[in-house]
Amino acid sequence: MTAQPDPAHLPLSHSARAILDALDQRGASFFGDLVNATGLLRTAVEKGLGELVAWGLVTSDSFAGLRALLVPSDRRRPIGGGGFRRRGRVAPFGVETAGRWSRVRGPVPLPEEAVAEAVAWQLLRRYGVVFRRLVTRETLLTPWRDILRVYRRLEARGEIRGGRFVGGFSGEQYALPEAVGLLRSVRREEPRGELVALSGADPLNLVGIVTPGDVLPGVATNRILYRDGIPVAIKDGGGTGERYLVEVTPDERERFKSTLVRGRVAPLVRTYLGKSRPAPTAAT
């Protein structure tokens, strides 16, 4: 939705501008074609591509290109191959294997009214019921007042419902017609004790927003445990342990803890950056 920066007003290096001109003239090109078209050294073309990617002006056919640019120089596969071999772990890919590089075409600017309507529908499909307090953590692309105008218009057309669907919150509330029926059915359901654990970065992390208590930061290392849709325990990724939001028995405590705790898998990017644990050496 944001406008693409104008390359003419950016502090680009000579290599980056030469690559940009080549892409404008030739279209999508492989790394070797860019080297031939610009007449630059391979290392200069690689640095220029990294600069253009950082400015959001250039992209490649695969993620291998971005990964190759993120790998430290001492972990990269030598450009051009040859007989030179690096010691230690070396990334199994290079900038030469990234496929074609091409210009990023800027999006067509949308009218503000169209953006507001798209955001309004996105929030409705995500939550079913929408009100001001609920979207506290959302990064809205348009002011809330513009979204409210869209909701009022949709309600007048009979596409959504307006009313008081969630108690304890001020302001206007709007809901999808099917969401109203689901809310009524939830009231009639008997508790089943179903446990669902979510990441703190999940949009359903509404602890402290629609429930009493402190807000749980929306980061991936935090965990929330819901029982029948009600938060009962949280785990702070900072290592402070589990915190229970309701009275629990010793058996429930162990069950909640085992559901919250999960094994942390090292992200693949650690391998690309050469931060993996060294392989164990055989005893002599």
Fold match, 13-103 / 112-188: yes
Q: Is the pLDDT of residue 25 over 80?
A: yes
Sign of the dihedral through C-alpha 6, 12, 17, 19: negative
CA torsion angle for 75, 22, 52, 56 (degrees, to 10)? -130
The region of weakest confidence among 4-8, 83-87, 161-165 is 83-87
Q: Is the pLDDT of residue 64 over 80?
A: no
Task: State which H helix or E strand residue 207 sits in.
Answer: none
Instruction: Output phi, psi for 241, to 5 deg.
Output: 90, -170
The pLDDT, as a whole number, for residue 99 is 84
**All structural domains of the chain with their residue ranges:** 13-103, 112-188, 195-260
The pLDDT, as a whole number, for residue 173 is 95
CA separation for the pair 48, 44 (Å, rounded) = 6
CA torsion angle for 108, 109, 112, 113 (degrees, to 10)? -30
Instruction: Output phi, psi for 163, to 5 deg.
Output: 165, -155
The pLDDT, as a whole number, for residue 187 is 80
The pLDDT of 27-41, averaged and rounded, is: 91
Q: Which residue has the tokens 């971005």?
A: 66
Q: Count Cα neighbours of 92 within 13 Å in the Cβ-side half-sphere.
A: 3
Instruction: Please indicate whether residue 126 or residue 239 has the higher confidence score (pLDDT).
Output: 126
Instruction: Please indicate whether residue 139 or residue 21 has the higher confidence score (pLDDT).
Output: 21
CATH topology of domain 13-103: Arc Repressor Mutant, subunit A (1.10.10)
CA separation for the pair 22, 102 (Å, rounded) = 10
pLDDT in tens, 194-216: 888 888 888 888 888 888 888 88
Instruction: Please indicate whether residue 237 or residue 283 has the higher confidence score (pLDDT).
Output: 237
pLDDT in tens, 120-132: 999 999 999 999 9
Sign of the dihedral through C-alpha 21, 22, 26, 30: negative
Q: Is the pLDDT of residue 263 over 80?
A: no
The pLDDT of 3-22, averaged and rounded, is: 85
Q: How confident is the model at residue 83 (pLDDT cuts 50, 70, 90)?
A: very low
| Residue 149 CB burial class (10 angstroms; 0-12, 13-18, ≥19) | middle
Look over the chain and give the mean of its residue pLDDT values, rounded to a whole number: 81
Percent of the chain with pLDDT over 70: 81
Q: What is the CATH number of domain 112-188?
A: 1.10.10
Percent of the chain with pLDDT over 90: 27
Q: Is the pLDDT of residue 241 over 80?
A: no
Q: Is the pLDDT of residue 10 over 70?
A: yes
The pLDDT, as a whole number, for residue 93 is 58
The pLDDT of 90-104, averaged and rounded, is: 74
Q: How confident is the model at residue 36 (pLDDT cuts 50, 70, 90)?
A: very high
Q: Is the pLDDT of residue 5 over 60?
A: yes
pLDDT in tens, 152-209: 999 999 999 999 998 888 899 999 999 988 888 888 888 888 888 888 888 888 888 8
The pLDDT, as a whole number, for residue 14 is 93
Q: Is the pLDDT of residue 12 over 70?
A: yes
Instruction: Please indicate whether residue 284 or residue 61 has the higher confidence score (pLDDT).
Output: 61
List Cβ neighbours of 98 (8 Å cut-off, separation of 6 or more). 31, 60, 61, 62, 64, 65, 68
